[in-house]
Amino acid sequence: MSTVAEKETCHGSSSACGLPAEPVLLSRNPGVPTWRKHSCLPSRQTCRDLFGAGRFRSPGGGAAIRSPLLLLLLSTLLFAQSNLSPSKLLQPPTDTWPMYHGDYSGRRYSTLSQINAKNVSSLSLAFVYRENMGPGSSGGVRISATPLEINGVLYFTIPDHLWAIDARDGREIWHRQLQSKGGMHIGNRGVGAYGNWLYYETPDCNLVSLNMKDGSERWRKPICDLDLMYYGSVAPIVLKNHVITGVSGDDLDQPGFLEAHDPETGDLQWRWYVVPQKKGEVGSDSWPNEEAMKHGGGMTWQPITYDPELNLIYVGTGNPQPVIAGKGRQGDNLFTESIVAINPDNGKMVWYFQPSPHDTHDWDATQVPVLFDGEVNGQKRKLLAQASRNGWFFVLDRTNGKNILSTEYVKTNWSSGLDAKGQPIPNPAKMPQLDGALVTPNQGGGTNWPPPTYDPETGLFYVNASRAFSVYYIYDPSDKPEGWGGNDRGGYSESMVEAIDYKTGKIRWSHKWESGGGRGGLLSTAGKVLFAGDGADNLVALHTETGEPLWHANLGSGVTNGPITYELDGTQYLVVAAGDTIYGFAMLAH
């Protein structure tokens, strides 16, 4: 059966497939890459025909299994296997996706190749799960989290909510709602995992440990002060005996920081402040005074990467504060807008590199510091690459932070050149003005928080990029502005996926999104497939070597997280979020 009938009998407001009650997209015909819209929900038999027997969910999220004994047996098997082996944290992701980026490197590359450039057009929809927050809820909250897949179970989040669903068929195993005292609910990037435990940051500034088996709470510890307008949204990363957490919040000119907590007790092990806390500390000479420095911002709102051999974690830090009006914070404003290497055992900084000295455009440098080994001038080097929000691509030696390459990946106009360290020099004429300054990129940046990917087979760094123009204005020209003190107003923009050669910084290929947008995360695989989201609500597969479009499926909403892949029972799955829904694809037997 290649398509569904044009007219079907509606079966109320619930769905036999667990699909949303609004119009849905269903056809999985390999010859028709996008699914056709339907004005009502499919029958249970249609679900069987479309997705295969046993691969659909009954109304309310329960599996379509009638036997209580069989349900109990399956649940017992799932829970018995919930433990995450520590060895999985140090291996390339295959049957497991155990952390935000899949592994510590941040590459988001999979060695799996069952789904490949030759057969990706035959991908089938394996399951759909729409977030169910309980009675009276209509869903609708964007899923920004990268799911973790551990022993056949997917764990994902939104603010105040966590779910575990079956990684094969999308059946809900448990849902946990945490009571919140407030905080910004803009999004949540997921959980960390260790042993039998999950780790989650709440919007109201707590680190919570939960049992993988049922979502029950083990402990919670404060990580920031809600009264100072901080909030939690970062996916914790577990390494050795540390749970690494970061913080978010731009409203009250507070300092950003990174923390390490004991995975068993939650106790604080160390805290590293992004900005110096008193004069005389390293970096304090890049601020005009102690008051400006201690309120200097630099939030740590993206997950870190880690090199186990060097025992260094790498964190990208956020913008200085006040965000736009920089008159009261003259200087480079260290260590905001920086890539920083830190010893995870004591929280001490080892080196730094600053992509955006004295930023006045809200260009956080929190984009993923991607780790890989490569050749530079014929010599093998331990490298770190970042496509920064300011439109520049940097390659560093990750052992010492020395710059190897600095080049634009989208055309910019805000810098007047590079300094001796390879850092862009801000052009004062392109800083925000009372009567406006035309700047590219805009506040959204050349890229933003959705993660890039690096393919070691092609040697290419892939990023969902944007070239956009804005006029930046100052609202508060005083000597001591607070908050933002200005903003931008947007204009022309275009978006594309770019493949960057790390050795030269040259764009090997670029695939423009004709519909604009395209802010979702990326995934590359050994099957020579790059998965991305475009601006027309499509999940798209491109050839990693050429950028040639291979397949697409319309999800009804734009991709809102980074796709993941894993193999279970000999079947490779691809999982992605679009809006409030998780979609699972697979190369199913027909």
**Burial of 44 per CB tally in 10 Å (0-12, 13-18, 19+):** middle
**Distance between CA atoms of 87 and 81, rounded to whole angstroms?**
15
Element (H, E) at 49: helix 44-51
Hey, which residues does 176 pair with through a beta bridge? 162
Q: Which residue has the tokens 């496509």?
A: 387
Amino acid at site 171: R
**Distance between CA atoms of 64 and 57, rounded to whole angstroms?**
6
Residue 207 contacts residue 236 (beta carbons within 8 Å): yes
Radius of gyration of the chain (CA): 24
Closest CA to 63 of 136, 127, 8, 141: 127
What token pair was written down for 405? 């390459």
Bond from prior residue into 441 cis (ω within 30 degrees of 0)? yes
**Burial of 5 per CB tally in 10 Å (0-12, 13-18, 19+):** exposed
**Distance between CA atoms of 275 and 184, rounded to whole angstroms?**
23
**Distance between CA atoms of 562 and 523, rounded to whole angstroms?**
7
Q: Which of 166, 362, 455, 534 is catalytic?
A: 362
Q: How many CB atoms lie within 10 A of CB 60?
A: 9
Q: Which residue has the tokens 């044009």?
A: 6
What token pair was written down for 115? 């789904």
Bond from prior residue into 322 cis (ω within 30 degrees of 0)? yes
Q: Give 74's DSSP letter.
A: H
Residues 6+ apart with CB under 8 A from 424: 355, 356, 357, 390, 392, 406, 414, 415, 417, 418
Q: How many CB atoms lie within 10 A of CB 318?
A: 29
Closest CA to 476 of 587, 557, 360, 590: 360
Catalytic residue status for 476:
no
Residue 289 contacts residue 276 (beta carbons within 8 Å): no
**Distance between CA atoms of 72 and 156, rounded to whole angstroms?**
23
- Give Cα separations from 416 to 23, 36, 386, 471 (angstroms): 51, 50, 20, 18
Terminus-to-terminus CA distance in the chain, angstroms?
10
- Classify 393 as helix, strand or coil: strand
**Burial of 487 per CB tally in 10 Å (0-12, 13-18, 19+):** middle
Residue 203 contacts residue 177 (beta carbons within 8 Å): no
**Distance between CA atoms of 21 and 270, rounded to whole angstroms?**
48
Residues 6+ apart with CB under 8 A from 22: none
Residues forming the active site: 362
